[in-house]
Amino acid sequence: MTRRTLRVALDQGAGRSGDTASSLTRLAGRARAAADAGADLLIGPEMSMTGYALGSDVARLAEPADGPLFEAVARVAADTGVAIVYGFPERADGRVYNAVRLVDGQGADRALYRKNHLFGDLDRDMYAPGDTAVVQTDLGGVRVGFLVCYDVEFPEAVRAHALAGTELLVVPTALMQPNVLVPTLLVPARAMENQLHLAYVNRCDVEGDLDYMGLSTLVGPDGAELLRAGPDEALLVGDVDPAAAADVLAEHSYLEDRRPDLYGSLAV
């Protein structure tokens, strides 16, 4: 497939918690704005369509991956021609998962990922953990992979994507104050040490007693911030250029210079 730049829009914001109708209305407006900016892909925060801190309400809002919410988001994607990454509680096999899904600009399902690393009782009281380390798809000639929030804080999770050839790692997030070092220090380091693009898209509102900090970012394979939001609602648009990663890898490759014979056992 012909390689080209993928233009991505980071949607730092969310609809009213527990109200999917408001989230869909907001998504339609954001997708239209992203399309007007020439974006190929719109990325929302963790659980963007329902809210994150749902408590017992998760049972009401959870639905199958191909349920009404998917159909509604697919219509927005097809109407605007913009691929969309959205988060929702997925009901499957008698469990509920913290899931993200990608639909392409024609409204077709392209990928589904379930959060693997659950954050404390807040996650564990609502969700079952996923069991697939790497989920990828091709979008516009760029190999896109997925993690959710806490997942990115584990170096093994991001390294698995790098070894599998992920070029853009998409990380919808609901990170609260005061964990500012995660988006400002850890996330750029993850991109640099794995020499891939990383889109970290966080909430910026208040949900119950949770105060989300924003600070969404798109980081290049050299660790440089290509986009950085502040604490308020924003739509940021930037380009993912696979050639930039190729240039970084040509200069030096952490992946090629690894010594798994020395430390491979540390991963178990």
Domain residue ranges in the chain: 6-258
Global confidence as pTM: 0.96
Identify the band that residue 251 occupies on the pLDDT scale cut at 50, 70 and 90.
Answer: confident
Identify the band that residue 267 occupies on the pLDDT scale cut at 50, 70 and 90.
Answer: low
Q: Which CATH number fits domain 6-258: 3.40.640.10, 3.60.110.10, 3.40.50.300, 3.20.20.70?
A: 3.60.110.10
Phi, psi angles (nearest 5°) of residue 74: -60, -35
Is residue 2 pLDDT above 80, yes or no?
no
Identify the band that residue 68 occupies on the pLDDT scale cut at 50, 70 and 90.
Answer: very high
- Answer yes or no: are the C-beta atoms of 202 and 101 closer than 8 Å: no
Identify the band that residue 110 occupies on the pLDDT scale cut at 50, 70 and 90.
Answer: very high
> For 181-218, b where at least 16 C-beta lie within 10 A, e where not — what string?
ebbeeebbebbbebbbbbbbbbbbbebeebebbbbbbb
Q: What's the pLDDT at 250?
A: 80
Q: What is the pLDDT averaged over residues 38-50?
A: 98
Say if strands 6-12 and 234-240 run parallel, antiparallel, or are unpaired: antiparallel
132-171: per-residue pLDDT in tens? 999 999 999 999 999 999 999 999 999 999 999 999 999 9
Is residue 4 pLDDT above 90, yes or no?
no
Q: What's the pLDDT at 149?
A: 98
Task: Report, as residue numbers or ranges, the catalytic residues.
Answer: 46, 115, 149
Choose among 45, 6, 52, 11: nearest CA to 28. Answer: 11
176-209: per-residue pLDDT in tens? 999 999 999 999 999 999 999 999 999 999 999 9
Over the chain, what is the mean pLDDT? 95
- Answer yes or no: are the C-beta atoms of 254 and 194 closer than 8 Å: yes
Query: Using alpha carbons only, how large is the chain's radius of gyration in Å?
Result: 17
- In this structure, the dihedral spanned by the alpha carbons of residues 214, 171, 248 and 236, taken in order and rounded to 10 degrees, is -40
Identify the band that residue 83 occupies on the pLDDT scale cut at 50, 70 and 90.
Answer: very high
**Preceding amide of 89 cis, omega within 30:** no
Q: What is the pLDDT averaged over residues 32-54?
A: 97
